[in-house]
Amino acid sequence: MKTVAIIPAAGSGKRLKSKEKKPFVLLGGKPLIAYSLEALAAAKYINGIIIAVEAESIERLKEIINRYGFKKVIGIVKGGKTRTESVRNCFRAIDKPCDIVLIHDGARPFPETRTIRDSIRYAKKFGGCVAARPATDTIKLVDKNLFVERTLDRKYLWSAQTPQTFRYDILKKALSRIKGNLNMTDDACVLERLGKTVKILKSSARNIKVTTKEDLKIAEALI
Ligand code: C5P
């Protein structure tokens, strides 16, 4: 079975409020992007990795890939205006059909080996799989003026993370069907629209996304 990993890392990183571009912000002395790359490169069931970054970051990313010797990287592409566009650009760079495509945020430095392995297994079995955490807060559905409409039942609420992993053929079809709205905050949405099955895989609490300065401090503490 052949699995290609896609890393969208072309976000503007504005919420981090850092002079440095997010993929290159140092975490424990190492660029943030090197963590997700390292974890995916170490997973024996991943055969190739394709990354999307902003056009002006491509050369720097190449330099990091050489410095750390990430041999599984088979493509670097220019990101799009939205995350979905960046994922689609990576998907198009897969040269020949594979079996499974695993998508993992460049901003999540600590995906567990178990999560990577099981998400591939679930994608094979169910078509699509999303790593997620059970909601710990009570979630309110509100109207546009921020008045509470109702409280959702926490038993059925999960926070979606990555990896989000899919059978190649299903993801291909889902991506080809998107018209207009290319702004989806996660990848499973494109499958849900097609009425396809997406299975939840409980991931570890360490699988955080670095979005703000506070997240960077938490990530430092986790190291
Ligand atoms: O914005 P958000 O935190 O959801 O971004 C998640 C991941 O998607 C990040 O790794 C970010 O770099 C990536 N992204 C992208 N292209 C965009 C927007 C976000 O690759 N246009």
Residue 113 CA to residue 45 CA, distance in Å, equals 10
Distance 124 CA to ligand 1 centre (A): 25
For ligand 1, which residues put their CB under 6 angstroms from it?
A: 8-11, 52, 79-83, 86, 105-107, 185, 209, 211
Q: Model confidence at 26, in pLDDT bands (50, 70, 90)?
A: very high
| 190 backbone dihedrals φ, ψ, rounded to 5° | -65, -30
Structure tokens at 16: 């981090």
Structure tokens at 122: 């679930």
- Per the confidence metrics, is the pTM higher than 0.85? yes
DSSP 8-state assignment for residue 177: H
**Domain that includes residue 41, residue range:** 3-222
Q: For residue 141, give Cα distances in angstroms to 34, 77, 137, 147.
A: 37, 37, 13, 9
> How confident is the model over 94-152, as pLDDT tens digits?
999 999 999 999 999 999 999 999 999 999 999 999 999 999 999 999 999 999 999 99
Q: Which residues of 1-33 are buried (b: 16+ CB within 10 A; e: fewer)?
A: eebbbbbbbbbebeebeeeebbbbbebeeebbb
| 136 backbone dihedrals φ, ψ, rounded to 5° | -105, -25
Provide, rounded to the nearest whole percent, the portion of the chain with pLDDT above 70: 97
Distance 81 CA to ligand 1 centre (A): 9
Q: Model confidence at 13, in pLDDT bands (50, 70, 90)?
A: confident
Count the residues in the chain.
Answer: 223
User: Given this model, what pLDDT does residue 201 score?
Assistant: 98
User: Given this model, what pLDDT does residue 178 score?
Assistant: 77
Pairing of strands 100-103, 158-167: antiparallel
Specify which residues 167 forms β-bridges with. Answer: 100
User: Given this model, what pLDDT does residue 172 score?
Assistant: 94
- Considering only CA atoms, which of 40, 56, 53 is closest in space to residue 8? 53
Mean pLDDT for all residues in the chain: 94
User: Given this model, what pLDDT does residue 177 score?
Assistant: 82
Q: CATH no. for residue 101?
A: 3.90.550.10
Inform me whether the pLDDT recorded for 8 exceeds 90.
yes
Inform me whether the pLDDT recorded for 77 exceeds 70.
yes
Number of domains in the chain: 1
Ligand 1 atom at shortest distance from the alpha carbon of 107: 10
Instruction: Judge whether 79 and 86 are in contact, CB under 8 Å.
Output: yes
Residue linked to tokens 């679930």:
122
Residue 164 CA to residue 123 CA, distance in Å, equals 9
> How confident is the model over 159-200, as pLDDT tens digits?
999 999 999 999 999 888 877 656 667 788 878 877 888 999
Mean pLDDT to the nearest integer, 42-58: 97
Q: Please report the DSSP string for 28-90 in residue order.
A: TTEEHHHHHHHHHHH-TT--EEEEEE-GGGHHHHHHHHHHHT-TTEEEEEE--SSHHHHHHHH
Among 49, 78, 83, the mutation site with the greatest number of ligand 1 atoms within 8 A of its Cβ is 83
User: Given this model, what pLDDT does residue 1 score?
Assistant: 81
If residue 170 lies in a helix (H) or strand (E), which one and from where to where? helix 168-177
- Considering only CA atoms, which of 210, 108, 203 is closest in space to residue 159? 203
User: Given this model, what pLDDT does residue 180 score?
Assistant: 64
Inform me whether the pLDDT recorded for 71 exceeds 70.
yes
Distance 182 CA to ligand 1 centre (A): 13
User: Given this model, what pLDDT does residue 193 score?
Assistant: 78
